[in-house]
Structure 1
Amino acid sequence: MKSKLTNTGSSRVLFLFLSVSILVSCGTFSGDIEPTLDELVMPEGFQVSIYSSEVPNARSMTRSPSGVLFVGTRQAGKVYAVLDEDGDFQADRVITIAEGLEMPNGVAFRDGDLYVAEVSRILRYDDIEDHLENPPDPVVITDDYPTEEHHGWKYIDFGPDGKLYVPVGAPCNICESEDEIFATITRINPDGTGREIVARGVRNTVGFTWHPETGNLWFTDNNRDWMGDDLPPCELNRLTEQGQHFGYPYLHGNEVWDPEFGEKGKSMDTDFTTPAQLLGPHVAPLGVTFYTGSMFPAEYQNQIFIAEHGSWNRSEKIGYRVTLVRLENRQPVSYEPFIEGWLREDGSVWGRPVALLQLEDGSMLISDDRSGTIYRLTYNSNQ
């Protein structure tokens, strides 16, 4: 799928240069970093352990009802199955079930089948748990998404309506496109049909979830670069009505009008939906989840945890942590660090949180594509 763009700084040469710069400066490729858990700081009673340290470039996660953890990647081009065969909440084996894919970041599980998102295709691996050692050829349920790699990697998940939600990032840092599919969140039927746009003006979301009581879609969004260290803020958004427009490329955050497209946005007959919660500038929020388990103290029930991947072009790094957005009456009232330490005081980075996934005992998994680690967050009041 091709498109005409009104674009600043989004040529393929610049994109490739920036991509290499990100990988070099932040060490996205895993395998050369040893996790040092004693550097992590979190509230009293919480503890982080290693669930698996053998999942290179670990990104999005999904889990089957029987307990098989599936993990996507971005640079590695692989999808893994991570097995805890003895039920001790520590992985025993990691199996590569697919490789040579194009940025297979997103994974989702439904009715025995594994769904994997490439840049332009959604694949389905049927009856995957019975074929982990010898996976079947995937079924291509759709190959009709754009081929642009800039923000082309995808997070996917099935919503309460049974549909698969698939975002399409902006193919640039800041631009307009004549093709309405860009900078949106879409949804499709499990067989790939019936695509429709549910949210617009979304630059790049790599994590979303649904409120456990209202069913509203909440998602993180990575705002534009090159407006300085402190502008614009990243966002946590809430979709309450299909078709809402969240501002990109015109309005960032609550009141930061874009220097190139803001004036046009002001003249448009569009009600932009502003963020439910402003996040730090360039923190790169990815995974987001509501905590619904029973292990953590009651104050964390239905509260929002966010994995912040961390800045790549800020003069002083920020992010590289898990944060907490507290809600009262279902409205955000605070935003605070929850786990820090992957970013050291000297500016070096040994971990980059990506995704969050709650286990049946109420503990939480955290993937890290920098060190190729999946952590397990637990709570014990006697610690």
Structure 2
Amino acid sequence: MNKVLFSTVAALGLVAASHAFAQSGDDNMTKLQGMQSTGTSMDIKTIEQTGANADQLRKNLEEIKLPDGFKIDLYAVVPDARHMAVGPQGVALFVGTRKQNVWVVTDRNKDRVADEVKELAPSISFTIPNGVCFSKDGFLFIAEQNRVLTLPAAEFFYESPDVAVGVVVEEGKLVPASEESFNHTARVCRIGPDNKLYIALGQPYNVPPEDKMDLYEKEGIGGIIRMDRDGKNREVFATGIRNSVGMQFNPANGELWFTDNQVDGMGDDIPPGELNRATAAGQNFGFPWFGGGDVRTEEYKNSEPPADAVMPQVKFTAHAADLGMDFYTGTSFPQKYRGGIFSAQHGSWNRTEPVGARVMFTPLNEDGTAGEPEVFASGWLTDSGEYMGRPVDVEVMKDGSLLVSDDLAGAVYRISYDE
């Protein structure tokens, strides 16, 4: 039975309430794994898609700057919208959050605007279900703070409060309980060309102490792990990563690319954010010896970095918080964008003058390396330094348009091209 872990609380009444809640969650998971109904209400929470809030979000988009021929529209109102996964059948979009909900977005009449946004599987209690990703054969994987679930046929079962569900990694087993933190807990996942599940595990610290290094290297904390889709044969794929919250495989050659958020407190202009390219398993990307790019950290300045540390393909503006990314696999955008990388910059907190809150585009060269990045969509950060939105993730739709999630505004936008 999958056991839900709860922090110790002082009040006896709260302990009893937590125990009852945990037992209910365990019972539901057991029933769902046995293909039994949980009795959860069919009155599933939905999010209003019209009215003053949606109107204001559309008005805010009038300030977004895009290259000629592109336009941006509100696709859906989605509270706390983070990482996204387009269903392989094109039926629905699944959106994770850093709270307790996963949302399902459905455009039933295919007018490229969502008709319905509702809670996924209210019979399941999620904890920071940020990472959502699909396999090509229709299995939705949800990487939580410290658990991984898989939902077969999610595009079919999402209409019900109950879903078919499997436990890939049990609660408390993705990272050791001793390393379960409030910081850097937004996991992301992808299914690789080898049909394995890849998950990025951010480490809890700004810069980790040396006595944590052996444990982190063994567990893949501050790295990327991979495993069979049933959770077996777990191994560490990459190390030397501070907190990656965006990755995708290059469909042209199967190489894994990922963003990385770099060390805070080193100044406004250093260290840079990163876009990295993993060409093989076992590579080390330099953290914590390097705080970003080739900038050495104060904590590890007297320690020799790995001789084979891989430097980033792209150095982004410092503290812009580079998060979700996707390769452009569509055909509706002009040729220059095809096969390149779109990535979201969430925006800075650790900077005198804020930066970011935009979507970047990085072309790839013929040899598979990164070209020069450029700003693709901007305007969520005003001239006065106010954030009107904070992009988190990007996802290519089947029609070739690009979705952008925004956890500050609670929205998903759609960028399209019209000659």
In structure 2, relative to structure 1, the CA distance for the partners of 1:71 and 1:368 (3 Å cut) is same
- Closer, same or farther: CA 300–128 of 1 in aligned 2, 3 Å: closer
Secondary structure of 2:360's match? strand
Q: Which has the higher contact order (CA 8 A, sep 6+)?
A: 1
Aligned counterpart, 2:414: 376
Q: Look up the SS of the partner of 2:120 in the other structure.
A: strand
Question: Are the equivalent residues in 2 in contact too, given 1:32–1:371 (CA < 8 A)?
Answer: no
- Cα distance, 1:126 vs structure 2: 3.1
- Give 5+ residue unaligned stretches, structure 2: 1-52
Deviates more, 1:131-140 or 1:39-48: 131-140
Which has the larger share of strand? 1
Structure 1 residues 254 and 369, CA gap change in structure 2 (3 angstroms): closer
**How far 1:320 moved relative to its partner?**
0.3
Can you list the C-alpha shifts for 1:203-239, whole angstroms capped at 9, x where unaligned?
Answer: 0111111112121101000001010111110100000
Measure how far apart 1:366 and its partner are.
0.7
The gaps in structure 1 that reach 5 residues or longer are 1-30
Report what 1:302 is aligned to: 339
Match of 1:108 in 2: 133
Structure 2 CA distance for partners of 1:32 and 1:83, relative to 1, 3 Å = closer
1:48 is aligned to 2:75 = no
- Corresponding letter in the other structure for 2:127: E
> Please, what is the CA RMSD of the aligned residues?
1.7
Query: What do the CA deviations read for 1:174-213 (whole angstroms, capped 9, x no partner)?
Result: 0142312211100111111111111100101111111121
Amino acid at match of 2:342: F
Aligned to 1:129: 155
Runs of 4+ that moved beyond 4 A: none
**Equivalent residue letter for 1:85:** R
Q: Which residue of 1 aligns with 2:36?
A: none
- State the structure with more CA Rg: 2
Matched, 1:324 2:351: no
8 Å CA contact 1:206–1:220 kept in 2: the answer is yes
Whole-angstrom distance in 1 between the partners of 2:55 and 2:255? 38
Could you tell me whether the CA contact under 8 Å between 1:45 and 1:380 is conserved in 2?
Answer: yes
TM-score for both structures, normalised by structure 1: 0.87
CA distance in 2: counterparts of 1:310 and 1:34, whole angstroms: 21
Verify: 1:213 aligned to 2:213, yes or no: no
| Cα deviation code 1:352-377 (max 9, x no counterpart) | 11111111111111111111111111
Task: For 1:56, give the aligned amino acid.
Answer: P
Q: Tell me the distance in 1 between the aligned counterparts of 2:201 and 2:239.
A: 10
Structure in which a larger fraction of residues adopt helix:
2
- Equivalent pairs counted in the alignment come to 347
Aligned to 1:120: 146
Contact 1:321–1:353 (CA under 8 A) maintained in structure 2: yes
| Alignment-derived partner of residue 327 in structure 2 | 290
Identity across the alignment (%):
41
Compute the displacement of 1:32 (Å): 11
Give the TM-score of the pair, scaled to structure 2. 0.80
Q: Is the 8 A contact 1:33 1:371 kept in 2?
A: no
Mapped contact 1:291–1:301 kept (Cα < 8 A): yes
